[in-house]
Chains A and B, each alone.
Chain A
Amino acid sequence: MYVYSALLKSILASLFLLSAGLYAEERAGQYQLAEKISSEALQSWNISIFPDGKNLPEGKGDHAEGKVLYDNLCMSCHGENGKGGIKLDPYRGNVETLVKSKNDTLVSDEPQKNIGTYWQYAPLIFDYIRRTMPYQAPKSLSNDEVYALTAYLLAENGIISKDTLVDKNNLAKIKMPNVDGFICDNRIDTKSAPCMKNCPLPGEKEFNQWIKIDNKDYLKSDCLVMPEIKF
């Protein structure tokens, strides 16, 4: 009897909580199914490195150390000096070039997307190498080794000098050439009415009158927005 009335009370209480429309924080632990974990105990999984350098670990590395690691661990796929590698997957062409060549540009019929021309924030290089590389043994590098490879790639791309020692204090301050190269999703960027009879076709004069471009109607809520970083 006691059990039933306790159950009833808890049901009534949860109904009250729901109907009161309380904040999510006050629904915490509603189901009592999770284990709590301390900040220390989750550190081995806490690997996100943010554009402002948040969560970068202790450690340091430079171009010279990075070159040794690159030649041993990365070159077999990414090519000499990061300038283009082997063709692995027929869907995607060659393994991407990591390092910008002199004439590489995004404004071309064959745009060259690499760290030097395209990547947005320097800490992303550290984040990606540490979580995914080397391909055959991800997460096998020390933080010093990841800093060294990051320094190597930044220096080979001409973004920092070869004698720069990269660490948690200066990595986020390195300004990437393409940091302002991105705009938020502003689709839908095509608009047309569903014409049913005697419809104009692409390339016909009437077609251009029929379609209207209107990109005001987009989902701002999806935008990735980074507060301004002082480089």
Chain B
Amino acid sequence: MSTWREGAVNGIPIALGYLAVSFSFGILAKNAGLSAMDAVIMSGTSLTSAGQFAGLTLIATSAALMEVIFAQLIINSRYFLMSASLSQRIDPSTPISHRMIMAFGITDEVFGVSTAVKGTLSPFYTYGVMSVAIPGWMLGTFLGAYSGDILPGNMVSALSIALYGMLIAVIIPPAKGDKVLSGIILISMVGSLLFSVIPLLQMISSGVKIIVLTFLIAGIAAYLFPVKEETEHE
């Protein structure tokens, strides 16, 4: 299955990046009092870095379940938009079973590479990415929780940028020679920077920041530069 393979290959840089991030997560999970197995179960079922880091704090402080629900809703609300965006990239006749399996794996990075596919997105491509990325996320969690000093610090640091490199490789090529997309990317980064340096905006969590900026920037862009049928996604 070549589509699956193609996805699996693109899942490798994600898995490497996940290894580094989930390694740090595993160390924190252990410090929060979770067993290595509990940490791996959380990684394998939630697949959300920021959500899991928040989850650790909530579990360690025995927070109310309503608090957990509320925190996860806010932190992970961006997946709602990503999922909606992907719904327009797959064949409308895709059966619900495929949609349900694909949905499980929508992380920032899996979404990123899936959205970079030209034309219609096949569920098998996304499965390929998931089948490499998810084990990487779980393995890193296990290594971090089981033995926090197995990976040298400079390697973790270098691998930590892998995910960002991948996301950059997703958004830059289509923006090349496209003034609207280039402008949107630039404005988004400047907006994001403002949220992290302006004291009042700093208090807003990163999940909320992503949602607010997406509605604002993509909302205005859609109004000013509606996408025509022909130019849409080649």
Genuine A/B complex: no
Interface residues of B (CB under 8 A from A): none
